[in-house]
């Protein structure tokens, strides 16, 4: 089942929203590849995408929270660090063992969990804060 972006998930900052949309697209690309029997081929792209995404997106999002004195910054930073730790373990597994069917499913579940639990809850809170407190 495809993961769908909705404007309710928007933080109200185009660059951040576009980054969120890109991770939704990547998760859906992997899901489509899995359904077509090509998940092993797609997962390498997903791993590479995530490395850059983490670096760019977390930096941008944390800067936004700091600049607007978002009270949930410390918790968000902890979640970002937890995601990075989990990603690094996933990346190490990929480098050590390659792309098994189990690994592809594990990667898809990792992404889906992040989208559902972090973006839909934590990042949505940033959007609510910004929309309430600031006009961007």
Across residues 60-85, what is the average pLDDT? 94
CB-based contact 79:40 (threshold 8 Å)? no
Across residues 118-122, what is the average pLDDT? 87
Whether the pLDDT of residue 130 is over 90: the answer is no
The domains of the chain, with CATH numbers, are 14-22+41-133 (1.20.120.50)
Per-residue pLDDT tens for 5-31? 888 888 888 999 999 999 999 999 998
What percentage of the chain reaches a pLDDT higher than 70?
Answer: 97
pLDDT higher for 14 or 131? Answer: 14
**Angle at the Cα of 48 from the Cα atoms of 8 and 19, rounded to 5 degrees:** 20
For 97-132, the DSSP string reads H---HHHHHHHHHHHHHHIIIIIIIIIHHHHHHHHH
Gap between the Cα atoms of 21 and 14, Å rounded? 10
Percentages (nearest 5) of helix, strand, coil residues in the chain: 80, 0, 20
Beta strands in 21-117 (DSSP E): none
Structure-token pair, residue 94: 């990929």
Structure-token pair, residue 98: 């390659």
| 89 secondary structure, DSSP code | H
Gap between the Cα atoms of 34 and 71, Å rounded? 39
**Per-residue pLDDT at 124:** 86
Gap between the Cα atoms of 119 and 112, Å rounded? 10
Identify the three-state secondary structure at position 47.
Answer: helix
**Per-residue pLDDT at 45:** 93
**Per-residue pLDDT at 9:** 85
């Amino acid at each position: 089942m495809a993961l769908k972006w909705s404007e309710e998930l928007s933080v109200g900052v185009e660059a951040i929203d576009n980054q969120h949309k890109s991770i939704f697209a990547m998760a859906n690309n992997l899901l489509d590849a899995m359904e077509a029997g090509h998940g092993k081929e797609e997962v390498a792209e997903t791993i590479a995408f995530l490395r850059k995404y983490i670096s760019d997106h977390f930096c941008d999002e944390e800067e936004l929270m700091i600049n607007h004195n978002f009270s949930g910054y410390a918790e968000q930073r902890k979640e970002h660090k937890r995601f990075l730790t989990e990603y690094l373990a996933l990346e190490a597994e990929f480098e050590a063992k390659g792309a098994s069917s189990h690994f592809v499913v594990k990667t898809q579940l990792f992404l889906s969990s992040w989208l559902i639990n972090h973006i839909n809850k934590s990042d949505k809170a940033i959007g609510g804060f910004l929309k309430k407190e600031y006009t961007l």
